[in-house]
Structure 1
């Protein structure tokens, strides 16, 4: 099978209406697939003014705002209109990218039509519950995820550490790796701008600790703030730079009154702010990969991060950054202090991270998803030849 033979239906809960690492990776994937000659149609909730322009042909899915998180939308149904559109498009592979109701229905539709389905896993959804005091629901959520993922022909995960979790949770037998690349023309050390730092009241000799991402509690904002408090109590000279926007920004601003809050940054502004920092601090445990971590490394920054799924596949402790037990704010402060007091180590770890980031080419990485499509189709065809009928995918 050639890439030009592929007709891919991509179903996701967020393709471009709110900017995040997952949907930016999906847009890059679609751009790559279109260049290879594949046909792609995307089904996702839409809004009148999305965060960025969609790559490819986007079909709007009915949705409602999620309570308490209205910036995100919950897809409601695989309506007759969408089913007709799917039938007319006649995909030979279905790709789901979010474990919502419409994705469940789309997988059922694919199975009913003898079409293989794969799922890409972008985050540790079950870990979000603790930040909303809903830990008791975690077993039920894992059960729902398992039911969905085991009905797929294959999964793609962004890191081997995440794939190991999925295997341990018996989510599927066939799991391959779709890691993440980085745009090195955008993110690189040359973006560092000392005049910009001074314009933001940051001294040349001040350690700039960057937070990059959606400003939401599940990014472990409480741990971040506690670690910064501990660093200040030790008398370590530093400045916090918060790059991103989100509903928890008022809380975060109250906890970090001396920080510079830039809001959402894109393009050259984002790259300049990140490269003008000195260390990225990412205490979150919810990422399946951590795009922001790789972007920081491409800018030559060392990383202080939680020793958690996804991050451990990018950051090599003691080489490209320092890994810390999740939730240990004092240990995070220790790591930040080590970089503040040892500029040579900071430079050495930053250079090693940059060397790693330079190997992460997007086209090579996205080709892994194309290969996963072809393998899933071939397995389905092989089962059908052996059984003489359309076969459901085999799970664990």
Structure 2
């Protein structure tokens, strides 16, 4: 099968959407499918990770306000129609709702090519954190119109599928997210790295991994760690990632360790060298970092939705507190920090819980779904 994947974000950009889409593309290729990548052009593209990995069509782009380093594709429907008329994919996956995604859905409809979309980001929630809460219902309505133009929309959890169906989203399909349990593993624990953090093996390393941005609710992670610190004077808070909030957080918390952005083995070592993972975000459609932390043998404290509801609540391998209950989040973090025996039990269960979520298994499900769209279109 020949599939075109359309995305506004792609490595070396580091975010959940870029890495999820890359995993799906690589999985299709491993299964013998042909993959074309359609994405915005960026400065320095000649040296990107996708060079020589996939056939690519790059379109003109512009910067994304408030997110330095990220770019969105400009409208390109006519170009896509011309390109796909001469090099026709059997199916199209549109991962993002930007101008390029809209162009791709329009081109697919004109050419009669089945297209599915991925619901990766709650932009209606994001906009409230950037000073425009009154726009949220309009953004959500626009997202619904976008996704309802596709043959189906992929979501990562049953909870999100039910939520969207209840709000008039049509043709929702659930496709689990994957985690590389060979990469993210407790065996990557690094005593040298912990020594640089000022910790012995019995010290407490509290970890957060993710984009440092307003919508990630990072002040709650800070509050939880400060309460942990009251009873664990030697604890350290390790912040992995970067973003517009880093400067403010570093200025107000000079004792924190800001490790910056990491990928692959370096990221895996940071996870595995921690002891407790705090994930206070309220705006995720899933939360890929939750699975990475679990695979690394870390108990997670988070809210009861997304990946946590799907994979933690029933397995007792972390603590899921009621959605948006900040006091419960802090109390759970403090309690788990003070109970090393419970953390150890949870660490083993966390690893076992995600062991079946291999990239190959998820890619087969994705390939089957795209293949079914092709058959339905041909009928």
Structure 1-normalised TM-score?
A: 0.89
Distance 1:268 1:341 in 2: 29
CA contact (8 A) 2:228 2:337 kept: no
For 1:230 and 1:129, how far apart are their aligned partners in 2?
Answer: 30
Deviates more, 1:179-188 or 1:297-306: 179-188
Listed one character per residue, the Cα deviations across residues 208-255 of structure 1 (whole Å, up to 9, x for unaligned) are 110001111211112222222333456665210011111211112123
Question: SS in structure 1 opposite 2:68?
Answer: strand
> Equivalents in 1 of 2:115, 2:77: separation in Å?
19
- Residue 136 of structure 1 corresponds to 134
Who is 2:49 aligned against?
Answer: 53
Output aligned runs, 1:272-351, within 5 Å. Answer: 272-316=269-313, 319-351=316-348
CA distance in structure 2 between the partners assigned to 1:168 and 1:347 by the alignment? 39
Q: Does structure 1 conserve the Cα–Cα contact (< 8 Å) formed by 2:7 and 2:96?
A: yes
- 2:217 matched to 1:220? yes
For residues 228 and 338 of structure 2, the distance between their equivalents in structure 1, rounded to whole angstroms, comes to 12
How many angstroms does 1:369 deviate by?
1.2
Q: CA deviation at 1:309?
A: 3.0
- In structure 1, C-alpha distance between the alignment counterparts of 2:104 and 2:358, rounded to whole Å: 31
Aligned to 2:23, what secondary structure does the other structure show?
helix
Q: Find the partner of 2:203 among 202, 206, 213.
A: 206
Residue among 36, 41, 46 paired with 2:36: 41
The 3-state SS of whatever aligns with 2:181 is coil
1:313-392 superposed matches below 5 A: 313-316=310-313, 319-382=316-379
Q: Distance in 2 between matches of 1:370 and 1:199?
A: 44
Q: TM-score, normalised by structure 2?
A: 0.93
C-alpha separation in 2, matches of 1:36 and 1:86: 23
Task: After TM superposition, give the deviation of residue 183 of structure 1 in Å.
Answer: 1.6
Distance 1:360 1:275, change over 3 A: same
Of residues 9, 17, 42, the one that matches 1:14 is 9
The CA RMSD over aligned residues, in Å, is 1.9
Deviates more, 1:243-252 or 1:294-303: 243-252
Q: How far has the Cα of 1:17 moved from its partner?
A: 4.6
Aligned length: 376
Structure 1 208/235 Cα, relative in aligned 2: closer, same or farther at 3 Å?
closer
Gaps of 5+ in 1: 1-5, 383-396
CA contact (8 A) 1:285 1:309 kept: no
Matched, 1:238 2:225: no
